[in-house]
Amino acid sequence: MVKLFDDHETTEHKHTSGEENHELHRSPVEEASGATSQEHIDEIEQVYEPYEEDDHEKHGEAKQNRLELHRTTSRASRISAVSNRLDRTFTTRSLPEPGPPPDGGWRAWSQVACGWLVIFSSWGWVNSYGAWQTYYTLSLDAPPATIAWIGTVSNFGTFFCAFSGRLLDAGLFLPTVLVGATIQVLGIFLMSISTKFWQLMLTQGILTGLGSGILFTPCMGLMATYFSKHRAVALGVATTGNAVGGAIYPTIVAQLLPKIGFAWTARVLGFLNLGLLSVVIAFMRPRLPPRRSGPMLELSAFKEGPYAFFVLAMFFAFYSIYSVFYYVASFGLQKLGMSYEAATNMVVIVNAIGIPSRLIAPYFADKYGTLTTVGPSMMALTIVAYCWLAVHDIAGLYIFTIFYGITAAAFQCLFPSTVASLTPRLDMLGTRIGMAGSACSFAALTGPAIFGAIQTAMGGRYTGSMIFAATSTLLCVASIVASRWCKVGWHLHQKC
């Protein structure tokens, strides 16, 4: 028995390490006696039993620890994989730059096509309000200046919600577009059951304006990130959706209102926008990775002379442009005795006639610079705006509307690419376009209202309102000159 204990002590280290457990269990029995008497075996088992139990406990603990470690590692791997997928979709952390813009190709131009649909259904809708203004003047018991607030509030919302451009930079493009599309389409359908001024203000004015604004700016910023040398042309092509929409919507209104009434005319337009925006949600995707979270506004941009003066130029331009767009049909109806259908044609013409300008002006902008191109365009618009004072018959109104639509379209298609040219980094473009649009929202809100107030104050005469619109355009030209001077000085031949 002494020998048994001695052997057990000499092998204790091996036993506790668990590496030779089987050998330790056999050798003491064999060495105690050549026989395998039951007494000796019982004694040996009594000696080793506590050690075996301790050994099994240690093995069990080790096995349990390994199992827990495996489970933790597996869980961490699954969480990491899910986190990576979510980061690629929703993150607002800065990621490595994907390289220079493709500047063409199927993917880039498909985004322009989707952007065209967005501008068609947002700005085309807003610019067509002149047709509704004429109809409401006949059907609502309110003066034209009051009715114009529906359109100006819608326009204000479309510009003011341009802060949604920051959401593009943050990597939230799809959720933003989905929210904007829902609000706009909902507003159109609710508009179809509206019968009073305040109801139309809430639906057509506020809801459709907010939805259009949430949609527009992220899509413009996204398209700009796919191009560099041909950016102005690409954005110009996309902005033709503005002109086509501004022509299609009034045509639909003029054709359907006498046949199916106001409610179903609005519903037809709602279903049209629902289909178009569904295509946008399905196919439009951002190229740049998200930018690190930052403030919604980059106020330091207004300390840059070129950017600040150009935003001021946009402000004065939209003071004038939307006043003319909203009142040119009413002028024909009230002062020249045109029918409702003929007056509505003025809205169609002023929008559709600008399609060539939206293609030609960007070509020269890519060649000579956006600021260099937009200045002469606005000078031409100023001359045409003052010519409205000389219109006294229907033929003259047609001529004025044609030339005003051509020159106004040149500016409208260039302002996004001009803001892009004044932005040092493309991942800040959404924010900068949004700030410029939000600043101009107050011009879009108050311009047509001031135009109408001046007309009312002058006993229904348009002379003072015409001078207001033309002079605002002249102030726009002065601001563009100041913007270019801040950037390159008086070097007229330098591309800018």
pLDDT digit string, tens, across residues 40-71: 445 544 544 444 444 555 455 555 655 555 55
pLDDT for position 70: 54
pLDDT digits (tens, 9 = 90+) for 147-172: 888 888 888 888 776 567 677 767 78
Task: Tell me the pLDDT of the chain averaged across its residues.
Answer: 78
Give the C-alpha separation, 457 to 469, whole Å.
16
pLDDT given at position 370: 85
Residue 112 in contact with residue 144, Cβ under 8 Å?
no
What is the secondary structure of 180-220 as a DSSP string? HHHHHHHHHHHHTT--SHHHHIIIIIIIHHHHHHHHHHHHH
Q: Which tens digit of pLDDT belongs to each residue from 104-138?
A: 888 889 999 999 999 999 988 887 887 788 788 88
Sign of the torsion angle spanned by Cα atoms 110, 114, 120, 319: negative
| Predicted local distance difference test score (pLDDT) of residue 3 | 40
pLDDT of the residue at 78: 55
**Model pLDDT, residue 77:** 54
Please give the pLDDT value at position 72. 53
All residues at 6 or more sequence positions from 241 whose CB lies less than 8 Å from its CB, including other chains: 115, 116, 117, 118, 119, 120, 121, 123, 124
Q: What is the pLDDT of residue 33?
A: 40
Q: Tell me, what's the pLDDT at 109? A: 92
Kindly state the percentage of the chain with pLDDT values over 70.
77
Instruction: Name the residue among 483, 355, 490 with its Cα closest to residue 419.
Output: 483
CA distances from 154 to 279, 309, 316 (A): 24, 25, 18
| The predicted structure's pLDDT at residue 184 | 95
Residues of the chain whose pLDDT is less than 50?
Answer: 1-37, 40-41, 44-45, 47-54, 58, 76, 79, 81-95
